[in-house]
Amino acid sequence: MILDYELLRLIWWGLLGVLLIGFAIMDGFDLGMAILLPWVAKTDMQRRILINSVAPVWEGNQVWLILGAGSIFAAWPALYATVFSSFYLAMFLVLASLIIRPVAFKYRSKMPSMRWRTTWDTLLSVAGIITTLVFGVAMGNLFLGIPFSFDETLRVFYTGSFWQLFTPFTLIFGVISVLMFIMQGAAYIHLKTTQDIARRARCVGMCSIALLLISFSAVGVWLNIMPGYLMDGVFDTSGPSKPLMANYQVLQVSGAWLQNYVTYPWMLSAPIIAYVGLIMTAIHLKINKAGLAFITSSLAVFGLVATVGVSLFPFLLPSSSHATQSLLVWNASSSPLTLVVMLIATAIFIPLILIYTTWVYRVLRGKITVETINENADNAY
């Protein structure tokens, strides 16, 4: 085999990050738009402008979420089983929120009543907040660890509860997630709209960036103080994927989540990109450079999500109750053959998705205005 097992695992760890980043960037701006809908659009026409700015693309953006979930299912089956067992109610909440979004898009325009439309707009905003908040809380729980274990047949047993997922630390991650999507949504709104809507989006975007800088820095300080998980011992990185085969210890050490930046200095590029992207986005919004603001906002999202991944490496999901059964890049993957077959499929289809997405956005480029809505009255929401 040209690619050994260790390299295949590293490639799929990176690909998982790419797919999650793709979701955060692409689906992030339409979720951010939903959150901001009642706040930056004051009239029904303004809200229609916002909704129609994402209407042609939001379904395509969810491809990244589907690809991310699919890659976890196929490349990291132990992670998939554990996450969906541990976060079952949280995932159900996210699913319900995602279902509300297309329903709100379709139903808000079925009746002219302002109460009817305002209700659906509010539901759309609340659904966006819930989705992004739960995603962030889930990321925060990766650093705390989840109380799970395996029996001898590798059945997963989760001993926590839904409400235990929500702690001060994880809620900060939830807030960062909401702020990140608000920033991305504001940058997109500023790019696609004009006049009052764009002005309000620019103000909201700059405020969200200021709060992101504060909260992101606060998490860094917190991670330096709180206990993190650290492997102690030698692990066969090309061995079989068996979480129960532990010839090492997992220690809890203060500041352990920041050790990767000492061991692998190149990983510092992730938080640096996040900070640079945030600052440059604020500058571009300030000087009214909408296109550059969206690019640098996407760069900031890349850095923020990548920081989570490189900080956790090689952990995928630590166990707070049975630390030696934690899921790692080295013990939770599928077989080498499965990873190779999936890699071939990914090499074929990801470029096709990128080419098609680029073409769609090129065709749909330009701002959405009142005139645009009126000219497409038969098709617009």
| pLDDT tens digits, one per residue of 367-378 | 888 888 887 777
User: Which of 36-45, 56-65, 206-215 has the lowest average pLDDT?
Assistant: 56-65
* In a domain? residue 171: yes
Can you name the residues that pair with 254 across neighbouring β-strands? 227
**What are the residues whose beta carbons fall under 8 Å from the beta carbon of 14, sequence distance 6 or more?**
none
Q: pLDDT band at residue 183, thresholds of 50, 70 and 90?
A: very high
Q: Is 291 exposed, middle or buried (0-12, 13-18, 19+ CB in 10 A)?
A: exposed
Average pLDDT over residues 126-143: 94
* In a domain? residue 280: yes
**What is the reported pLDDT for 188?**
95
Higher pLDDT, 236 or 324: 324
Judge whether 190 and 202 are in contact, CB under 8 Å.
yes
Count of CB atoms situated within 10 Å of the CB of 347 = 9
Which pair of structure tokens corresponds to residue 87?
């976060």
**What is the reported pLDDT for 245?**
66
Reported pTM: 0.93
The 10s digit of each residue's pLDDT in 67-103 is 888 889 989 998 998 888 888 888 889 999 989 988 8
The 10s digit of each residue's pLDDT in 321-346 is 888 888 999 888 999 999 999 999 99
Distances (CA, A) of 302 to 86, 88, 279: 26, 27, 14
Q: Which domain holds residue 293?
A: 5-230+246-375
Higher pLDDT, 252 or 187: 187
**What is the reported pLDDT for 331?**
87
- Res 180 pLDDT > 90: yes
Of the candidates 353, 346, 316, which has an alpha carbon nearest to the alpha carbon of residue 331?
316
Determine what percent of the chain is predicted with pLDDT higher than 90.
56
The total of structural domains in the chain comes to 1
User: Distance between CA atoms of 7 and 107, rounded to whole angstroms?
Assistant: 48
The 10s digit of each residue's pLDDT in 108-124 is 888 888 899 999 999 99
| Average pLDDT score, the chain | 90
* In a domain? residue 237: no
**What is the reported pLDDT for 202?**
94
* In a domain? residue 356: yes
- Res 155 pLDDT > 70: yes
**What is the reported pLDDT for 219?**
95
**What is the reported pLDDT for 181?**
97
φ, ψ of residue 232 to 5 degrees: the values are -130, 105
- Res 299 pLDDT > 60: yes
Element (H, E) at 254: strand 249-254
The 10s digit of each residue's pLDDT in 348-357 is 988 998 898 8
Average pLDDT over residues 284-297: 95
Beta strands 249-254 and 227-232 are: antiparallel
* In a domain? residue 211: yes
Q: pLDDT band at residue 280, thresholds of 50, 70 and 90?
A: very high
* In a domain? residue 325: yes
* In a domain? residue 27: yes
Which pair of structure tokens corresponds to residue 175?
């807030």
* In a domain? residue 238: no
**What is the reported pLDDT for 186?**
96
Per the listing, tokens 């203060």 go with: 254
- Res 1 pLDDT > 60: no
**What is the reported pLDDT for 257?**
93
Residue 253 DSSP symbol: E
